[in-house]
């Protein structure tokens, strides 16, 4: 019998320190720079202060990109511009430094960690540190079958928790969370539609490579069929992930919840991360206080999920590539907010 009870997260997750946030707000009001003149940077600085339980806020010095990777059987229906089972090619490009996330991370000095949960490839073809949490080769075709067995879903969820613990224990002070998948936005659309109680057409976007109208219709039909299978299991979030999620999405959900337990702030990227965050919110209502939405990708499912969680994106550049790219674009603003909050508050302290 399983010892995993995800309902425990409701009690394990605390809100960021409200008293510290009030202290940060009070100090902010006494600065020479008028309150509100820094716009969203003020909010981000106060969010970080509460997450760190520290005034003045500490600089973000050890951020890390964590990417969960997987293939989805639903891609066989032609719902993606990429070939089904080809996510491993993207992962190799990330590891070799040729993907957008690799370039931005290299320029910013941020390490990138890739975690293979369900790539459709032989584990021996990738480094050991990438594949050691792998659950299976590809997730099931969610329009007609479960993405995972119950045992696989638990293993994937626990893997996400383990990765969160490893990052917290290693001194990572902020995580940019992303995915590398083929078919992942379709699974994400099913989760968002199911949890928001809406129709498939409302959440169906065109993905990272902007699929054509015929592919969009196939994707909409796939989300509709997955939604029919998701509705009967809405009361059990782990079963929901096993039914219509996938190993990568399940691991991301476990990561988000355990990161909140460990008080590790997370920057969400695109629609896949938003869908996992929405599932995690259903498990523990305080968890979203530990996350910030990096950008508006233009995907309708992402917009629906972020609205439901009351998370306002930092940027709106329409970046749909995934891989944590939107998170990395927002990271300098978050780091700037921390620096401004810390150094301007030090001026107040000196004056006092």
**What residues contact residue 300 under an 8 Å CB cut-off, 6+ apart?**
202, 203, 204, 205
Q: Is 323 a catalytic residue?
A: yes
Q: Which residues, in sequence order, are bridge partners of residue 207? A: none
> Per the residue annotation, which of 154, 167, 299, 323 is the catalytic one?
323
What is the CA 144 to chain-centroid distance, rounded? 26
Angstrom distance (rounded) from CA 131 to CA 150? 21
Return the SS3 of 177. Answer: strand
Long-range contacts of 42-46 (CB under 8 A, 24+ apart): 42/337, 42/341, 43/337, 44/292, 44/314, 44/333, 44/334, 44/337, 44/338, 45/337, 45/338, 45/340, 45/341, 46/21, 46/341
Distance spanning both ends of the chain, measured CA to CA = 60
Angstrom distance (rounded) from CA 293 to CA 306? 8
| Peptide bond preceding 9 in cis form (omega within 30 of 0) | no
**What residues contact residue 303 under an 8 Å CB cut-off, 6+ apart?**
296
Residues assigned a catalytic role: 323
């Amino acid at each position: 019998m399983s010892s995993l009870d995800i309902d425990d997260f409701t009690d394990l997750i605390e809100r960021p320190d409200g008293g510290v946030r009030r202290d940060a707000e009070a100090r902010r009001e006494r600065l020479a720079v008028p309150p509100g003149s820094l716009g969203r940077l003020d909010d981000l600085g106060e969010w970080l202060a509460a997450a760190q339980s520290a005034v003045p806020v500490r600089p973000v010095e050890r951020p890390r990109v964590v990417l969960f990777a997987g293939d989805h059987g639903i891609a066989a229906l032609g719902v993606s511009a990429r070939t089904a089972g080809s996510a491993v090619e993207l992962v190799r490009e990330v590891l070799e430094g040729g993907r957008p996330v690799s370039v931005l991370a290299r320029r910013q000095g941020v390490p990138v960690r890739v975690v293979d949960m369900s790539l459709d490839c032989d584990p021996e073809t990738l480094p050991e540190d990438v594949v050691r949490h792998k659950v299976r080769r590809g997730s099931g075709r969610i329009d007609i079958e479960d993405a995972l067995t119950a045992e696989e879903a638990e293993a994937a969820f626990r893997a996400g928790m383990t990765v969160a613990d490893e990052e917290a224990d290693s001194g990572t002070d902020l995580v940019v969370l992303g995915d590398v998948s083929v078919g992942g936005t379709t699974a994400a659309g099913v989760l968002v539609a199911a949890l928001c109680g809406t129709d498939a057409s409302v959440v169906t976007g065109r993905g990272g490579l902007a699929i054509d109208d015929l592919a969009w219709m196939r994707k909409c039909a796939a989300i509709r069929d997955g939604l029919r299978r998701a509705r009967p299991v809405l009361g059990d979030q782990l079963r929901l992930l096993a039914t219509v999620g996938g190993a990568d999405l399940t691991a991301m959900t476990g990561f988000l919840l355990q990161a909140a337990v460990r008080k590790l702030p997370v920057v969400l990227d695109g629609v896949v991360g938003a869908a996992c965050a929405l599932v995690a919110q259903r498990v523990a209502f305080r968890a979203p206080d530990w996350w910030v939405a990096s950008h508006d990708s233009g995907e309708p499912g992402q917009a629906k999920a972020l609205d439901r969680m009351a998370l306002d994106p930092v940027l709106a550049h329409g970046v749909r590539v995934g891989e944590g790219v939107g998170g990395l674009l927002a990271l300098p603003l978050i780091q700037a907010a921390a620096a401004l909050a810390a150094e301007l508050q030090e001026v107040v302290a000196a004056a006092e």
